[in-house]
Amino acid sequence: MLMMRATAIGEKNAKAALSYDAEDSVEFSLAPPLVYHGKDEAGLQSWFDTWDGPIGGDVQDAKLTIGADVSFWSGLVNMTMTGTKTDGSKVDLWFRQTLGLVKRDGHWLVAHQHASVPFAMDGTGLALLDLKP
């Protein structure tokens, strides 16, 4: 399920990607606002459309903890998103991600997503976008 979701994201297919999310999902994304509730297919597709070609990436330090009806996945994700934006800029960003999963009607769904990057603790509060594992 997680691999099929990742494939749909790479192929920029919002409908397919969101088919693995619970209707009442909560997301703490890298982009504002602070929290998203539910599925936003139009918003996700709009973001996908800012990419020229497929979105690539890599995962390191992935861990999956499975319970009977609740599980979680965490890892470092390289959103090189190995890709190029439609404005020509290249993206190579590592970020932290945690997914909370719930089993509903025998199917695992993403109920919670959290993505973040560290920020400078020197008082500037700037996001540290060039860190690598």
Name the token pair of 84: 């190029």
pLDDT at 57: 84
Q: Is 83 exposed, middle or buried (0-12, 13-18, 19+ CB in 10 A)?
A: buried
pLDDT tens-digit readout, 41-80: 999 999 999 998 888 888 999 999 999 999 999 999 987 5
Any idea which residue has 């192929």 for tokens? Answer: 11
Asked if residue 121 is part of any domain, the answer here is no
Neighbours of 21 (CB within 10 A): 20
Give bridge partners of residue 85 from the DSSP assignment.
51
Asked if residue 60 is part of any domain, the answer here is yes
Asked if residue 125 is part of any domain, the answer here is no
pLDDT tens-digit readout, 71-125: 999 999 987 555 678 898 888 889 999 999 999 999 999 999 999 999 999 999 9
Q: Tell me, what CATH number does 110's domain have?
A: 3.10.450.50
Look at the chain and report how many structural domains it folds into. Answer: 1
Asked if residue 77 lies in contact with residue 94, where contact means CB atoms within 8 angstroms, the answer is: yes
Phi first, then psi: give them for residue 39, nearest 5 degrees. Answer: -100, 140
Domain span holding position 85: 2-116
Question: Which pTM does this prediction carry?
Answer: 0.91
pLDDT at 84: 75
pLDDT tens-digit readout, 18-47: 999 999 999 999 989 999 999 999 999 999
Residue partners of 119: CB distance under 8 A and separation at least 6: 125, 126, 127, 128
